[in-house]
Structure 1
């Protein structure tokens, strides 16, 4: 069961494709945290920033827009953003 924290909606959903077959639609900060925790790629600065901003959005410390921007940046760095 999802908690109300999971409804920190992103301004627009993010489509991510891993290994040319697995498509993921990330629509909330909670979705992003779950996706990032399973992330098979490198966990560099952009990854760590995205994870922290998404966790901060869930805690109400920062906005879902900031989390979205960080997540998009991390996915662009990895070359998996559609």
Structure 2
């Protein structure tokens, strides 16, 4: 399985002050599985798009955009 690199890494900071660098669709899936925020539409879309990127159905750029939108909605972007 390819990890599908994102166009640029995303730095997310959760409330406990922990910082994560998300550089691939696989990193995003791992982070989304332990997502500390609300699991609404943006979260579900990001998870599906990242899984689809790993399967080669969507581009890593599309998954990156969805993950970024979900992280922004929850205030996780640094």
TM above 0.5, yes or no, is yes
Question: Which ranges of structure 2 fall in alignment gaps of 5 or more residues?
Answer: none
Q: What displacement does 1:26 show?
A: 0.1
Structural RMSD (CA): 0.9
User: What is the aligned length?
Assistant: 78
Q: 1:45 is matched with which residue: 41, 52, 57?
A: 41
Normalising by the residue count of structure 1, what TM-score does the alignment of the two structures yield? 0.91
Query: Which 4+ stretches in 1 moved above 6 angstroms?
Result: none
1:5 and 2:2 aligned: yes
**1:27: which partner in 2?**
23
Local SS of the residue matching 1:13 = strand
Question: Which ranges of structure 1 fall in alignment gaps of 5 or more residues?
Answer: none
